[in-house]
Chains A and B, each alone.
Chain A
């Protein structure tokens, strides 16, 4: 038995086994995170709106997400008549790939990381910009005017907000002298980056909310204008995949913020991953809080905010950081 296992390990290499186990772990985290966030969103929105939210299914409505999932799985997959079939089918699948890859490089704890790549942050940024492709495909393939407007908005929004996102991260990268997420966490021993780089933190978080298409930047799916935006024509499990991706994206943005600005898994007494998830979910709560208290910005206001405020501010911040470090 032992011999067999050793043989297999020799055959495919220890690294590959580690990667497969890691990916399974990532899949579990993604699904569990989506379930938790569905429940959290419904509870948070309920309490913010003077309601109690779900309470019938399970204690405190904890099993509600499972019931929701079952409903979505059981639903018939409707395909509207005049859709561009390949694109329409491909979009919900593509939306999921970048989301999974981003998880690989996030350090959940000092040794709880699927793979520490020395260009970790580039991997995340490169793949997260791919998610806009799937939104564009969904909008185009749906053959629906609302979807199309929603996806076009999404592209403009993502391009505009990726720049401040990157610039804000760069100033941290300069300080840590590394692109590896683990190094960046380690560099924050003693003092978290949020205290050193408050402006970068704000810029990154705002841009991150915009990247995930959450209120007040939820223009691609603006309900009162575009019905449901790019996913108007999707139902059942296809809709669920978009839904899952949205929640996972939210988690990733919060996880990166934690890693870059809140000291990642570092913290006293409790184990590292508890700190990591605690900080991340605190940020997730802030995003939920935004959604249930803010109106939506208008399209031109959204772009103006990025091009006229966030980008100049983060550029100046980057230059000042570089200048101070050089001196």
Chain B
């Protein structure tokens, strides 16, 4: 497949900017520089080869702006970085949103942060920001927002028509798990259209990263995805390690795997509690939190915090685990196995629950590449795509585990996949504990002030919601020139309007609950 796509690119696109990159160093296989004229053709070509749009963002190099498109395949790891230079004074680029639906949101994001106008985009209104912001925040120089652009950004207005009405689900609503707002156009109990409105928790983590050193940014990832804090902590740490070529001791890798999997279970348990609550059953929530509390206790001992962990350091860990940790973890595994069989009887066997979850919120497998969804959300449709298997980090290549998949991608499949994943995580922890080597837990001689060499790198981990990737451009200073976070909830949530349309509001809320979205992660 790799040869095929290479040939096709050479045959149909301008090949002047085609470079084979070093995967070990950059995290992507191929870099391709395209002209404004043929990005649409390029996107079409990748679409035809079943590549998904992994990420789309912009980097400001002052003289010009660079749009960066990452394409990747679910079947075989082959990450292609496509770049497109646009003029800094009058940035215009053609949209690819008619090919990749997900680009609609990515392009809106770039538009409000950099001022790039996407020709042919249907709706270039505010996604995260509001009209109090009078310059483009992520530009390196202060560029004010022109009046005409502000008018365009402000043009989102839901219009009431006959026979329908609007309901704002959120930002304060019992079902939205945070401050997500969905403007729902309804006809009685049925949803005509749903439009998520984001940005209520936008904190500009990407700009923060540009203003502080790599070490100073360390606590931030935990605030991006709070239920899976360690997983994003690892994404940041491992990216910087790879960028600066810091060797990590074997023991640290093992401990990272164990703690990350514990965190994944905690995050899934949070979801497991909240999902039945969306269906009206409030009791599982308390049971799930009881279990989650055990994990928080275990992790508190070693990390020092209960939710927003900052445990990993460049080259290792903050401190080592001890025998108490291992004993507690083993007890927890035993306890959890019993609990899972109980949950199976209580919830999976409940006829009302099954009737509500089965056959609702169906997401079709072939839609996935348009959105670039990842994580349990696409695994439920039957695509066995997991970063832990596709490009193993830490010690995931040394432990034996399967990727649980669903069949049709309805709410019940998403439920089953996540439940199976928790059991799989227990298996990974068990193996990692058995294999845990002795030795140092952090690398020696890691410089206090990290100044990575010039270059860029993409690194992704499998967070509890899907692929969480970090793209860093380094300019040899101690702060990143640009840090981009690719977050899974963002691209998963984009599919919500299509799943909600034409369905009952009760089903739509159940479907929204099945996504396991984390709003701080979407808004960043």
Q: 1/0 contact trace for A293-308 toward B, CB 8 Å? A: 1111111110000000
Q: Is B167 an interface residue (CB 8 A)?
A: yes
B286 contacts which of A51, A222, A296, A301 (Cβ < 8 Å)?
A51
A295 touches B276 (CB 8 A): yes
User: Which residues of A (136-150) have their CB < 8 Å from a CB of B?
Assistant: 145-146, 149
In the complex the two chains form, what is the Cα distance from A147 to B205 in whole Å?
A: 39
Interface hit among A81-89, A109-117, A223-231: A223-231
Number of A residues whose C-beta is below 8 Å from B?
28
B281 touches A294 (CB 8 A): yes
A50 touches B287 (CB 8 A): yes
Q: How far is the CB of A87 from chain B (nearest CB, A)?
A: 19
Q: Is B174 an interface residue (CB 8 A)?
A: yes
B174 contacts which of A215, A223, A297 (Cβ < 8 Å)?
A223
A50 touches B506 (CB 8 A): no
Q: Is A263 an interface residue (CB 8 A)?
A: no
Interface hit among B146-154, B232-240, B348-356, B397-405: B348-356
A224 contacts which of B189, B278, B352 (Cβ < 8 Å)?
B278
Instruction: Tell me what chain B mostly uses at the interface: helix, strand, loop, or mixed.
Output: helix
In the complex the two chains form, what is the Cα distance from A50 to B505 in whole Å?
A: 31
Q: How far is the CB of A167 from chain B (nearest CB, A)?
A: 24
In the complex the two chains form, what is the Cα distance from A294 to B350 in whole Å?
A: 8
A297 touches B509 (CB 8 A): no
The 29 listed contacts between A and B (C-beta, < 8 Å) are A48-B283, A49-B285, A49-B286, A49-B287, A145-B165, A145-B167, A149-B505, A219-B506, A224-B174, A224-B280, A224-B509, A227-B174, A292-B282, A292-B283, A293-B283, A293-B346, A294-B352, A295-B279, A296-B281, A296-B352, A296-B506, A297-B352, A298-B355, A298-B356, A298-B504, A299-B189, A299-B506, A300-B504, A301-B356
Q: Is A218 an interface residue (CB 8 A)?
A: yes
Number of B residues whose C-beta is below 8 Å from A?
30
Chain A, residue nearest B352 (CB): A295
Q: 1/0 contact trace for A159-193 toward B, CB 8 Å? A: 00000000000000000000000000000000000
Q: How far is the CB of A45 from chain B (nearest CB, A)?
A: 8
Q: How far is the CB of B25 from chain A (nearest CB, A)?
A: 48
B167 touches A296 (CB 8 A): no
Residues from chain B with Cβ under 8 Å of A225 in the complex:
175, 505-506, 509
Chain B, residue nearest A215 (CB): B280
B504 touches A218 (CB 8 A): no
In the complex the two chains form, what is the Cα distance from A299 to B165 in whole Å?
A: 19
Q: 1/0 contact trace for B193-206 toward A, CB 8 Å? A: 00000000000000
Residues of B within 8 A of A (CB): 165, 167, 173-175, 189, 276-283, 285-287, 290, 346, 350, 352-353, 355-356, 504-507, 509, 513
A293 contacts which of B281, B285, B504, B506 (Cβ < 8 Å)?
B281
Q: Closest 3 interchain pairs by CB?
A: A296-B280, A49-B286, A295-B281
Q: How far is the CB of A175 from chain B (nearest CB, A)?
A: 32
B189 contacts which of A48, A149, A227, A297 (Cβ < 8 Å)?
A149
A-B contacts at CB below 8 angstroms, number: 77
In the complex the two chains form, what is the Cα distance from A146 to B282 in whole Å?
A: 21
Residues from chain B with Cβ under 8 Å of A48 in the complex:
283
Q: Is A216 an interface residue (CB 8 A)?
A: yes
Q: 1/0 contact trace for A93-108 toward B, CB 8 Å? A: 0000000000000000
Q: Given A49-B286, A50-B287, A224-B278, are A295 and B189 also a contact pair (CB < 8 Å)?
A: no
B277 touches A146 (CB 8 A): no
In the complex the two chains form, what is the Cα distance from A295 to B346 in whole Å?
A: 11
Q: Given A224-B278, A224-B280, are A298 and B173 also a contact pair (CB < 8 Å)?
A: no
Residues from chain B with Cβ under 8 Å of A45 in the complex:
283
Q: How far is the CB of B292 from chain A (nearest CB, A)?
A: 13
B506 contacts which of A49, A145, A222, A227 (Cβ < 8 Å)?
A222
In the complex the two chains form, what is the Cα distance from A167 to B165 in whole Å?
A: 38
Chain B, residue nearest A298 (CB): B506
B352 touches A216 (CB 8 A): yes
Residues from chain A with Cβ under 8 Å of B277 in the complex:
224
Q: Given A50-B286, A295-B280, A295-B353, are A146 and B509 also a contact pair (CB < 8 Å)?
A: no
In the complex the two chains form, what is the Cα distance from A297 to B355 in whole Å?
A: 8
Query: With A149-B189, A219-B506 given, can you name 5 additional A-B contacts, CB distance below 8 Å?
Result: A146-B167, A153-B189, A225-B505, A299-B189, A300-B504
A299 touches B173 (CB 8 A): no
Residues from chain B with Cβ under 8 Å of A50 in the complex:
286-287, 290
Q: How far is the CB of A43 from chain B (nearest CB, A)?
A: 14
Q: 1/0 contact trace for A25-65 toward B, CB 8 Å? A: 00000000000000000000100111100000000000000
